[in-house]
Chains A and B, each alone.
Chain A
Amino acid sequence: MRTPSRFMLQLLSGGIVICAAAMYSAAADAAPQVTLNASKATPRQVEPLTERAVLRDYKSAWTSLTQALASSSLDPLNGLFEATADKWLTDAVKDQQSSGLSRRYLNQNHQVDAVFYSPEGDVIELHDTAEYDLEILDGSKTIHNEHVIVHYVVLMVPGAERWVIRHLQAVPQF
């Protein structure tokens, strides 16, 4: 016969497993899926190490952007955006803070092609076909929900330790 303490332990373990599963599910929603094809970039060929770095940092940037716009906080931006991209995001977050709006990018899937890599390797242009569920909230009330495919033209430049986004502009088509 089970002792009460053993039963409680099993109950606690079950609870932990359920919580972990729920957290994993939430993380899966938030973590962008990104694939990068750099084989067609011109005029400079993208080196494998550079390709991995761009992929890693572009994915991180979208994670930061998602968190910043969901929480209406500048903290997650974390230096992964600069110049125009940083200003636009900062303005959007500040607007959200004053209006009480927020937006969530869920189930993100980004298919990214590198289309231009400058001769000296100081700027790379990406075309991102992004698919996600966009949820817009006024306070805690959802006012808009859509599944959308958006095309982004992205300019990234090498920073001191990582590639950063200087420009992120949605276009009707490539």
Chain B
Amino acid sequence: MSWSISTVWKTLRPGFWVLSLAVSALCLTVALCAQDITLQAPSDAVAGKAAKIATTGSGSAKFYLLGPSTAVKRDVQLGQDIALAPDEVQSAGRYVAIVCAGSCANADFFVAPGKPVSLVFLVHPSRAPVGKSGLISGVAMPFDEYHDLVLTPAAVDFQLSAKSGTPVSHAVETHDGAAWFRISSGKSAGPLQITASMNDVVARRVVQQVASDPCNLRIKGERTAQGIEVETDPVRDCDGNPVPDGTIITFTAKGGDETSTVDAPVKKDVARARMSAKGPVVISAASGVVMGNELRLGGQ
């Protein structure tokens, strides 16, 4: 057997072609697998609105979408737009989209909140004594249909209306998604309606304004067969508002070395008490830190 070059070539030629084809197929497969995939994420996605991601390449791939409230995996075709359903992008925030076909490509994008449809409106306190400086405050925060905080500055109109007096309106622009106010309580007891509105979105709250501390507490009394009957004049605050029923008035009777005390609640503007003392007494009344007049009664 001769081992010339031509003999060797003739012997190996069929195998060479098979090997060449195999190498070519392998290269093609690698090239296809490592194809250049690009994703073009939406630049103006809005919460709860359908969006799409453009892709390049060909063939099938795995698509992943991770957002604040989602983690999606599904098959897609490269070269076609990937449709994002409204419920996949309901939450405002950052999303990461990934496509894998051999290698992976990714893109991130932000979903912005939609239009405000509700206002979270916090108002304090629910009951406010009249005539107190800077006592009532409120905070309004706009949210969209999917409870995303709307951060775009927008005017919130706060309107305050009491039973007596003209309504007061005050517009405040949201800053970082919040608008707030602080006001003094009014002069008259009664409900104070407070509304916060942003376009056609309205939230309402009521603050019950109540009388402040009693003012000019005055008492009168007389001796009866049962003892000393003592009562207040109608108890009002300094603005003339009757104090709420149940406000406690403390009556104190001092006679000689003896002192007796009775607490009585205001009922229909007046507090009444019966005290027992035989000798001359000095009776006084107080409510909290407010003192009334002194009443002197002679002995029995």
Contact = CB atoms under 8 A, between A and B. Distances in A.
Contact of A153 (B67, B71, B176): B176
Which of A91, A155, A169 lies at the interface centre, i.e. has the most chain B CB atoms within 10 A of its CB? A169
A138 B61 CA distance: 14
Given A153-B149, A153-B176, A170-B93, A120 B70 contact: no
Contact of B110 (A127, A134, A171): A171
B139 A153 contact: no
Interface residues of B, number: 37
A65 B219 CA distance: 65
B69 A123 contact: no
A122 B176 contact: no
Nearest to B124: A120
Interface in B105-159: 106, 108, 110, 113, 122, 124, 137, 139, 141, 147-149, 151
B160 interface: no
B122 A84 contact: no
A43 B151 contact: no
Contacts of A15: none
B122 A120 contact: yes
B177 interface: yes
A110 interface: no
Contacts of B139: 118-119, 122-123
A101 B73 CA distance: 8
A87 B69 contact: yes
Contacts of B110: 170-172
A134 to B, nearest CB: 7
A168 interface: yes
A100 interface: yes
Contacts of A96: 71
B247 interface: no
A169 B139 CA distance: 19
B169 to A, nearest CB: 20
Interface residues of A, number: 40
B178 A144 contact: no
Interface in A126-174: 127, 134, 136, 138, 143-144, 146, 148, 150, 153, 155, 167-172, 174
A144 B91 contact: no
A96 to B, nearest CB: 4
B68 A119 contact: no
B49 interface: no
B72 interface: yes
Contacts of A25: none
A92 B64 contact: no
A118 B180 CA distance: 8
B73 A122 contact: no
B149 A169 contact: yes
Contacts of B92: 169-171
Nearest to A83: B147
B177 A125 contact: yes
Interface of B: 62, 64, 66-73, 91-94, 96, 98, 100, 104, 106, 108, 110, 113, 122, 124, 137, 139, 141, 147-149, 151, 175-178, 180, 182
Given A88-B68, A144-B104, A171-B92, 9 more contacts: A87-B147, A89-B69, A103-B66, A103-B71, A116-B176, A120-B124, A146-B106, A170-B68, A174-B176
